[in-house]
Amino acid sequence: MSGTSEVRQGSGRDRDPDGRARNARPRDGLGRPLPYGAAGVERQPEGLVRSPEETVAEAQTLLDGGKPFHAHEVFEDAWKAGPEEERALWKGLAQLAVGLTHAARGNTTGGARLLRRGATAVEGWASGTGRARPYGLGLAELGSWARDLAVSVERDGTAISATAWAPRLRGRRA
């Protein structure tokens, strides 16, 4: 049974047979844990290797569906599996998705901080490599989007709609 998730008897925590942490609890679209047995949002498979184009397309679908936490997991796979020279790009995109997640959950301080960190990361990656639109990604637009959202959530101090604020990874909506 190695590699599968199970809840160890008496531990109250999800652990695999070797004792490593696994989280089998269902989650909602914002990644919040739900009670065992509740209907949650289907989780993204972990460790899936996608092409950069597949990564961007899958993440956009999840963002458009109000599931930024799950988009973050897609970016995290690209960050961990991709070439070393692109890891900062994918990590920055994951930070943007997590920032949107926190802002939608009502964590305005953490959301704004992560949005700005992600904006700095993707803009810095673009300027450091000279690639402003890798895989069609609008990095300058994403940086502006993230900074605008950070200002908005700090000003208003309330949770935002992840769907309404979903970014266009390849630029502005048509």
Write out pLDDT tens, residues 95-130: 999 999 999 999 999 999 999 999 999 999 999 998
The yes-or-no verdict on residue 20 having pLDDT over 60 is no
Give the contacts of 69 (CB within 8 A, at least 6 positions apart).
27, 29, 30, 31, 97, 98, 101
User: What pLDDT, on the 0 to 100 scale, is given for residue 14?
Assistant: 60
Task: Output the pTM of the full model.
Answer: 0.82
| 22 confidence band (pLDDT: 50, 70, 90) | low
Cα gap 55→76, rounded to integer Å: 10
Question: What is the SS3 assignment for 174?
Answer: coil
Write out pLDDT tens, residues 61-70: 999 999 999 9
Number of C-beta neighbours around residue 152 at 10 A: 16
The share of the chain scoring above pLDDT 90, in percent, equals: 68
Cα gap 36→16, rounded to integer Å: 17
Arithmetic mean of pLDDT, 29-47: 82
Residue spans in the chain of domains classed CATH 1.10.3450: 52-156
Which fold is adopted by the domain 52-156? Hyaluronidase domain-like (1.10.3450)
Where do the DSSP E strands lie in 79-160?
A: none
Arithmetic mean of pLDDT, 22-41: 83
Give the contacts of 75 (CB within 8 A, at least 6 positions apart).
55, 59, 90, 91, 93, 94, 97
Cα gap 81→77, rounded to integer Å: 6
Among residues 3, 5, 31, which one has the least CA distance to residue 107?
Answer: 31
